[in-house]
Amino acid sequence: MAICTSFQAEGMAILDMAWRIDNHVRLFTVDTGRLPQETYDVMEMVRQRYGIEVEVYFPDAAQVETMVRRLGPNLFQKSVQARFHCCNVRKVEPIRGVLEGLDAWITGLRRDQWASRANIRKIEVDHEHGGLAKISPLADWTLDEVKAYNEKYDVPVHPLYAQGYTSIGCTPCTRATKPGEDPRAGRWWWETNAPKECGIHCPVETGAFEHELEALTHSRHQSPLRTVR
C-alpha cells in the first residue's frame, strides 16, 4: 500500500496522518517534466521533515520525445484530445506502472473538489487499475477541515497557495484562481466545457457499495486488500 501525492494540501494531510501511525509510510509521486520549482521545494521539505524516501516516477522518455516531435511542446493547448494525450503520457501511464505492484493506493480526493469527484467513496475497488483498492480518507472533508489539520500539525504547505493557486499541476496548465472561482478553475483554464481531470482519477464505474465491501472483507483468513486482486 502506498500514498500517491502531488504535494497539495490534501495529500500532505494524509501523509502527516499516515506518518504518525507508521513512520515507514510509502509515498510516491510523478514528475511530469513540467512541474513548477515550488513542487520540488515541497518534495525536499517532505524528505527533510519526515525522513522518508519519496519515490519519484517519470514518463517514458521515448513516448515523450515522440509526442513532442509530432505534436509540439505545447500540444495541450491545441485541443482537449491533445491535452488528454499529453496527460496520459506524462501522468497516467507512469501511475499505472506503479499501481501494478500494489494492493491498494491512498489518494487525497475530496467530493467537493469537482463534479466528477462528487461520488467518490472512502474505499472502493479501482477497476481502472486492475481491481486494487483505492482509499480516499478525506472524501467527506471540506477544504477548511484540511487547512485546519495542516495548521494544527504544522504540515508543510505548497508555496503556490500563497500566490492564489487553489489546485496545482504542471506549470503551463495551472494558474492562480480569482476570488469566487471554482478551486479547479485554474486547471486548463483555456478549455470550454471540458472535464478538469487528467485521467488518473477518472470516475470508477462499480456496482453497489455493499458488493464492494464484501469483496474487500469477505475472508477472515486473507488480507482485505489481497481479496480484491
Question: Which residues are part of the catalytic machinery?
Answer: 198
* Sign of the CA dihedral with 18 first, then 19, 24, and 26 last: positive
Vertex 151 angle, CA 145 and 155, to 5°? 105
Name the one residue in this structure whose C-alpha cell is 502531488.
Answer: 6
Cell numbers found for residue 57? 516516477
Neighbours of 107 (CB within 10 A): 22
What is the secondary structure of 13-68 as a DSSP string? HHHHHHHHH-TT--EEEE--S---HHHHHHHHHHHHHH---EEEE---HHHHHHHH
Give the whole-angstrom CA distance, residue 97 versus residue 130.
Answer: 11
What is the secondary structure of 98-114 as a DSSP string? HHTT-SEEE----TTS-
Q: Are 109 and 10 in contact (CB under 8 A)?
A: yes
